Structure 1
Amino acid sequence: MGASQREKKQGHPKRLEDRLTGIPGIEAVHERVAAWQADTGRAPGGAHVHAMLLGLRRFEAINIAYGEAAGDGALDEVAARIVHFAGEELDGPWQLARAGGGAFVLVASEACSRERWQLVADQMADLIARPISVPTGVLRLSPRIALIRAVDGESVESMLDRLSHALEQASGQHGGRLAWADGEVTPPGRSSAQLEADLLGAIDRDEIEILFQPQFSLADDSLTGAEALARWVHPELGRIGAGALFTIAERADHVAPLSRHIARKALWAACEWPGKLRLSINVTPADLAFGSYVRQMLDLVRESGFPPRQLTLEVTEQALISDVTLAAQMMAEFSAQGIRIALDDFGAGFCNFRYLKVLPMHYLKLDRSMIEGVTSDKRDVAVLRAIVAMAKALDLEVIAEGIEDEAHRDVAAREGCAYYQGFLRAQPMSGAKFLKLAGA
């Protein structure tokens, strides 16, 4: 990533925090943009201030139909999804703020084209529109997003005013969910259909790059393996993260070939690793909905020659919402072959503990949000301690994600986590660099 993880993290001053979501108020956007505009030397590579205003259409109806507790929970989940998405997809520093009601503002100092910013917003809308499980049912939100590429020196007030008008436009459209602020038009370039067509040939052109995020033991900092991450190196748009990549693949009905391609490249690369390093591969909701996914994945493992007992499949709660029973059956088949299963991003959403009861899990992978406050907040430490105790009672090992400094690492180790990954020790890297790190 272009900026250090510490630079990219949001500022969360207590006086600005929204009591519900933990996200700062709009004052945080004023402060962050002012800092970017004042520091002319901190934005190399043509970085520019971009912003988006996200609103949830007819959000009031959720409170009426499901109750205010469900509405509050949905807002908390939306905030968590945006934070996680921004951390994964944006290269430069960014700031998320709550704008009141069901609205959020995201600003970023990002070196990207207007077209790329629109692609980010489109992916964000897809992410927010995915089902949200609440105690009273499953919610489906309808996000609308207004976009802006700020004029040099433009005030935050001006940006927010233009974004508000654009969001009103988007909210009044049937089927349309994105709108550019007044004075700007939807950027010319590749349409969604063209991007889908591009993706169909991306595998053959070898544009899908596999990076590896190293994982380490908390006991002695020894290298234990790596998580495989996919990136699309588009010849015109540049790097497209995994989230946007799979959204485009879903629209093109191309998830299965893409998933197989990523797994194949990762498995073949991991065959060169020394010792008994583990490979982790992410499983998407579309994978679990694909009837022959287990058979095809097991075929790839056999063809590659990578030991099944050194493979971990990481599954998010989002992937489990549609059919937990089917997911359990598929995971049991993998487990019978020695493949291990991790519940990924634990703590980022509603944490349905039923999954831990009915699914054959081996690892609990904590979302970075579960680690961020443990050095300064006793309640955060108490939550971490309780989760680790629960995991141990269920014979699950805990992996801490997003470890960025020694203080976080020390707390995770003290509280009983087994493994960690994060920028403290290593950023995502190419297969060749990972081999060098592994001493091969």
Structure 2
Amino acid sequence: MMILHDSWIIPARMTGDQDAAIDSTDLLTGLASAEAARTWLRRTAPAAPVLAMLVSLPRLQAVNLAYGKTHGDQVLIEVARRVADFVDVELGSAALVARLGGGKFLVATVQDTSRERWQYLGEALGRAIARTLTVRGEEFHLLPRTVLLRSSALGEEGGSGEALLHHLEETATTLDRLSGRRMLWADDVLGTPGASLAVLEGELLGAMHRDEISVLFQPQFDVATGRLAGAEALARWEHPRFGQISAETLFAVADRGDHVAQLSRHIIGRAMALATQWPGHLRLSLNITAEDFALGDVVRTVRHLLGETGFAAGRLTLEITEQSLISDFEACARALRALATDGVRVALDDFGTGFSNFRTLKALPLDALKLDKSLVKDIAHDPRDRAIVSAVIAMARALAMKVIAEGVEHQQQLAILREEGCDLFQGFLRSGPMAPLEFLRLTSS
């Protein structure tokens, strides 16, 4: 195990200052300390472009509460070992690996690495941390969240180590509020000068009035027949200066200004209006967030928009995540049951990435489970992943639920899903998200 990178040991040895060596080391994990990380960023950022990722462990608090701090500390030590080993192999000893406190780890480097590879490394590190972890006979399954950043995207601010850390931590806070999201680029919109979250927040309401918030449709297909079955609505901001802004950033902006309920209403209404042009057998799926339940009257909003647009309730599916139910499970359940009486169907999204709580399956009026793409990704090569998918499909059938697979990219994956009895799929094997007119053409082809 790498205890501490050489770049952090050498300065202390050169000065002979043992206190400096202690201050630069996180005493629990042996990684660089938060202060050492700040020093590295202050020295490095002005001289060279920095790539950074901030990895957090949202479930650490639950481990501490359920098993005690001793277990929690052992979990942190094991995660630190995995992070250090991963960085040694992928980036070498020149990279910074630090613990910022609690369950937060920072990885940074000045290597000439593309955005695509940095994201790949972030995803790979997330998988390494997510592997089953055993402490004192107890098994833990951590689902880390990762924020990625390129200092070059921050313009003049990119030369400030403090600004880098600030943007990472601010984006991590935003990511915590985004249901079902595990990764976010801090520089998705910060890459364009002036396009900060604060600036975009001031423009959001006007963007809705100017129809800059567009809806794309991700087609869903029948696994057995290959026929089009419907689509999931996805939001994008077509900004006149900054280009296309992702849904993650869009909702982060809305969250800053307490506009989530208003934004959701805008997207839901627009998607329903567009879907009225489709053939009557196609279904529309819409995502409902935790903020929709907490800040808005979901039942009244959905019923009003169904009436206003003329879209049939029986053709609508609302997709929720377990994360969106945490704030007030009973209130969310009541709202979903009320809509179910109108004929609206409910699907549990990202199944396999949350707590996968059986209470959720029992208490909610669920019609479908959506297999997260992380479960589908390796089913053609990993017998365990296939066994899990097979078990989930069998359970769903026993509960009279359909199963929708996300992220299907290869024919072999589809063949296995067909063999296991999966009902619907979506993914780049058949189509990515489509503009409304493009999807409308697909419905008639």
Structures share a fold, TM > 0.5? yes
- Residues 322-401 of structure 1: matches in 2 within 5 Å? 322-401=327-406
CA displacement at 1:279 relative to structure 2: 0.3
Give the corresponding residue for 1:32.
Answer: none
Same amino acid, percent of matched pairs: 41
- Residues 25-424 of structure 1: matches in 2 within 5 Å? 51-56=51-56, 66-67=66-67, 102-103=104-105, 105=107, 109-110=114-115, 147-149=150-152, 166=161, 170=165, 188-424=193-429
CA displacement at 1:335 relative to structure 2: 0.2
Name the CA distance, whole Å, in 1 between partners of 2:317 and 2:147: 36
Q: Which has the higher helix share?
A: 2
Per the alignment, in what secondary structure is the counterpart of residue 248 of structure 2? helix
Aligned AA for 1:103? F
Give the alignment's Cα RMSD to 1 decimal.
4.3
Name the CA distance, whole Å, in 2 between partners of 1:331 and 1:364: 15
Name the CA distance, whole Å, in 1 between partners of 2:220 and 2:172: 38
Name the CA distance, whole Å, in 1 between partners of 2:331 and 2:77: 29
Per the alignment, in what secondary structure is the counterpart of residue 438 of structure 1? helix
- Relative distance call for 1:298 and 1:72 in structure 2 (3 A) is farther
Larger Rg: 2
TM-score scaled by structure 1? Answer: 0.65
Per the alignment, in what secondary structure is the counterpart of residue 262 of structure 1? helix
Give the corresponding residue for 1:437.
Answer: 442
Per the alignment, in what secondary structure is the counterpart of residue 276 of structure 1? coil
Name the CA distance, whole Å, in 2 between partners of 1:104 and 1:418: 41
Name the CA distance, whole Å, in 1 between partners of 2:244 and 2:326: 30
Deviations 1:288-313 (A, max 9, x none): 11352211211101111111101000
Name the CA distance, whole Å, in 2 between partners of 1:328 and 1:320: 8
Aligned AA for 1:149? S
1:402·1:422 contact (CA, 8 Å) conserved in 2? yes
Name the CA distance, whole Å, in 2 between partners of 1:70 and 1:62: 9
Structure 2 spans left out of the alignment, 5+ residues: 1-48, 80-90, 123-137, 174-189
Name the CA distance, whole Å, in 1 between partners of 2:216 and 2:171: 35
Name the CA distance, whole Å, in 1 between partners of 2:73 and 2:275: 44
Aligned AA for 1:192? L
- Relative distance call for 1:59 and 1:53 in structure 2 (3 A) is farther
CA displacement at 1:323 relative to structure 2: 1.0
Structure 1 spans left out of the alignment, 5+ residues: 1-48, 78-94, 112-116, 122-134, 151-161, 179-184
TM-score scaled by structure 2? Answer: 0.65
Per the alignment, in what secondary structure is the counterpart of residue 103 of structure 1? strand
Name the CA distance, whole Å, in 2 between partners of 1:408 and 1:142: 26
- Relative distance call for 1:141 and 1:411 in structure 2 (3 A) is closer
Name the CA distance, whole Å, in 2 between partners of 1:323 and 1:187: 38
